[in-house]
Structure formats: structure tokens, C-alpha cells
Amino acid sequence: MSTATVAPVKPKEKKEGLLSKKNRRTLFDPLDDNNPITVQVLGVCSALAVTIQVKPAIIMALGLTLVSAFSSLIIALIRDSIPGRIRMIVQLIIVALLVTLVDQVLKAFMYDVSKQLSVFVGLIITNCIVMGRLEAFAMAQKPWPSFLDGIGNGLGYGIILITVAVVREFWGAGKILGFQIVPQWAYDHGYVNNGLMALPPAALFTIGMYIWWQRSRKPKLVNVS
Amino acid sequence: MQHNNKYIFFYAIGISTLTAILLAYTAQVLKPRQESNIELDFKTSILHSVHEDASSRSTIEKIYGDRVQELVINNNGDVLTDVKVRDIVLKNELKKPVEERELALFVYMGEDGKNKYVIPMQGTGLWGPIYGYLSIEDDFSTIYGAVFSHKSETPGLGAEIAELPFQKQFPGKKLFDKNNSFVSVNVIKKTTKTDLDPVNYVDGVSGGTITSTGVDKMIEVCVKPYLAYFEKLKSAS
């Protein structure tokens, strides 16, 4: 895990609107300027694992967004009572609790979805983004901004995940979301799927390219991480 | 914020107890529903292996109740009447020596009046267990259908065994070769040269070699103990 770039901001005394300028920034910054994967360099490991196809990437992004939003909310609510020396364990308990609860409920009411999701349960609990945001943001902020920060970072993660998955599924299997995109005549004329794209290193190249593109678009991000 | 040791101690106990109670309570409340889902999933898989694609709970229960007979047999081909199918845990049976195994068999009466025999299977993939059901026609060699599922194989690679393109290869394949000896249905890498007859193998999943080998081994290990029973049925008819 690397260090997060956001310095803890002092909570404001004045009452502010639910979607004030600052809160909007908390929500939207992680989508690009402070993206958890490409800028904070958190959660890269799972981005390598679940980006072979678009469908699991979407499921993972949604799961992570929910978990990081609600764990941020809960941690921010009890932040003053958490003893500093065991704060990480407390954070982990809350995250694991949320994920396990969701998994149990899905098993009881949406069994088919839960069969698909069971692989991700472990990946979400140990995801660096969730813990990273709890440490860097929710421990020092009020519940509402923390909740927004959780959603923002989940979505920021999702954007990268889905982008990478689209690239990998297209080049690796000729499909997107399971639908054939590369036509049969291309295969008949000798087109071959790129097997490397189905393997984890391909995610690394793709994320690398994305970071390159992002930095060349926004020079201010060069050397931030 | 600084807290003293006593506070930390009680905080830790408190939060652990609270979450434990919450989890235990949810697990207890949801258990009956979860179990009925697992049961339904099991019946659905068996029916899928004989190409019954019903999806609603009531139809599945009805077809299963009307058409499927559950049997327990052993390696010698004897029917064990004192053991229930529900009490058999396949994973534990596979650890026993083959002579002591209690084997569940599901006999499905097809609409054409012919029986299909469904064998439950379990094996190991790359990351975790893989499961499957194989249905065999009443010549005891031809595969009628197959379904596979897995716990944690990689999507797009090993996980493809649970997808239709892989499973569609199985119907029509045979467990026995031309000389009538058992060769199982092998799962072989597309490019590998083999002496096997095309009816005795299917193509493995590219990029999922270890999972494919797991399926290959699973079919052989799980089907073999049933052969004695099939032999008995064959000579009886």
C-alpha cells in the first residue's frame, strides 16, 4: 500500500449544504484528479484480478462502492470513540461485518447473484482502497463527507476497472459483456484473439497506459505519486 | 486520541461481541432460506444435466419429485437402502478408499421412457473445488448431458467450464472406447496429439489448463466406482 495524497482537511465549524462545493469535490475528485488506482495507487492488486471480463468488473465496482461508502459512514460516526492504537482492527471488523452481512443476505434472497459474487467477498474485505480511505479520510471527517468520499473512490475505482476490462475483454476474447464484437469473418481471415490480454500482466500494461494518458492530459499530476 | 488501556480493552471486547451477535443473529434468521436455496440449486443442476431447463421453484420441485429417483449404491454395485442421499457428503466419500464409498445416484425417467443416470462429481480446479453432474444414457456409455460449476476459478479462463460452450461438447461423447474398455471422457488441450477416438475426449479451456485437467480427473475418479452397478443393470436387462 502506498501513501494517500490527500492531506486531512480540518472540519469546518460552519454548517454547509449537503452538496456544497467542497462536498462535490470530495465526491468527484476521486473519479479523475485523485483517482484511487492511478493517482493514489491503491487497490491495484484486485484491478489485475477482476478485469478479464466486463461483467465481474462491474459487479466488483458496485460491491466496492457500497462497502467503502457505508464503512466510511460508520467509521466516521464512531471515529471519536475509536482508540488510536486498535483503530485498524476496528476498521477491519466494520468492513468485514458489512461484506459478510451483504453476502449472507444475497445468499438468502438472490442466490444466483451470490454464487457469482462469492469470489469477490474476500477481495473486497482486503481491498486497500477501503482501508486507505478509512485511514486517510473517514477517521478525521464528518459522516456525510466521508460517505461521499467512499462513493467517489468506489466509482473512481470502477471507472478504471471497467475501462481496463473493456480493453482486455475486447482484445482477449473479441467480446464485450459476453457479446461478440469481432465478427466471425475476421477470424475466418486469420484474426486471432490476443491470449496475453487474458492474463494478469495485461492489466498492468493497460493501467500503465491509462496513467500515461492521464498524466499527459493533466501535467499537475506528474510526480504526485 | 489517547485512551487508557482499560478503555481499549473494553472497546475491543464490546465491538467484537456486538458484531458477533449481529452476524450470528443474521446467519440464524437467514439459514432456512439459504438452505432451501442450496437444495433448489442442487435439484436445478441435476435437472440441467438432463436438459430440463425449468427455472421457477415450483416447476423444479414438481419435475424433480415426479421424475427423479435417488439411490445410494456402493463400489460393488449393490443398492444400499439404509443410507439417504442427503446424508452423503461427496467430499468426504472421495477421501475414503473406493470400496467403502457410498455413492449417490440419481435416476431420471425421461419423457421417452428411457432412464438417464446422473452422477454427482467433485474435484479440484486451480483455486478451489469444482463440481459437476454428468448424465449418462441407458447404454451406460453415452453422455447425455453435463453441467459444471466452480467455487473460485478465474473468469474468462478456468471459469469457462461453467459456461455453455464447454458443456455443450459433452452430449454424445462416450465413456468406453471401441474395445469396450473404460477410458472416461477426457479433457484435452486443443493442440495436443492423442490416440483417443474423438468420441472419448473434448477440448479443454484455453488458458484454463489446470482447471481442464481437474475436470478430466474429476470425471474419471467419480464415474469409475459406478461401473459395477451399471454392469449389473446391463446384464439384468
Instruction: Assign 3-class secondary structure to chain B.
Output: CCCCHHHHHHHHHHHHHHHHHHHHHHHHHHHHHHHHHHHHHHHHHHHHHCCCCCCCHHHHHHHHHHHEEEEEECCCCCECCCCCHHHCCHHHHHHCCHHHCCEEEEEEECCCCCEEEEEEEEEECCCCEEEEEEEECCCCCEEEEEEEEECCCCCCCHHHHHCHHHHCCCCCCECECCCCCECCCEEECCCCCCCCCHHHEEECCCCCHHHHHHHHHHHHHHHHHHHHHHHHHHHHC
The string of pLDDT tens digits covering residues A4-63 is: 455 555 555 556 677 788 888 888 888 888 888 888 888 888 788 788 888 888 888 888
- Shortest CB distance from B30 goes to which of A86, A97, A104? A104
Query: Which band of pLDDT confidence, cut at 50, 70 and 90, is reported for residue A1?
Result: very low
B206 is a domain residue: yes
A64 is a domain residue: yes
Question: What local confidence, expressed as pLDDT, does residue B218 receive?
Answer: 93
A23 is a domain residue: no
- Model confidence, pTM: 0.73
B214 is a domain residue: yes
The one-letter code for the residue type at A85 is R
- Shortest CB distance from A83 goes to which of B11, B16, B34? B11
State chain A's mean pLDDT as an integer.
Answer: 83
Whole-complex ipTM: 0.71
- Which residues numbered 38-67 in B keep a CB inside 8 Å of some CB on A? 38, 40-41
Question: What local confidence, expressed as pLDDT, does residue A224 receive?
Answer: 61
A2 is a domain residue: no
Number of structural domains, chain A? 1
Domain that holds residue A80: 38-217
Task: Report how far apart, in Å, the C-alpha atoms of A225 and of each of A131, A137, A163 are.
Answer: 18, 18, 21
B81 is a domain residue: yes
In chain B, residues with a C-beta closer than 8 Å to the C-beta of A93 are 15-16, 19
Question: What local confidence, expressed as pLDDT, does residue A114 receive?
Answer: 79
Asked if residues B152 and B200 have their Cβ atoms less than 8 Å apart, the reply is no
Domain that holds residue B103: 69-236
B158 is a domain residue: yes
Q: Which of A50, A82, A107 to mutate to test the interface with B (most CBs of B within 10 A)?
A: A107
Residue of B nearest to A194 (CA): B207
Number of structural domains, chain B? 1
Count other Cβ atoms within 10 Å, centred on residue A174.
19
Strand partners, B186: B201
Residues in chain B, pLDDT under 50:
none
- pLDDT surpassing 80 at residue A64: yes
A167 is a domain residue: yes
The string of pLDDT tens digits covering residues B111-153 is: 888 889 999 999 999 988 999 999 999 888 999 999 998 887 8
B195 is a domain residue: yes
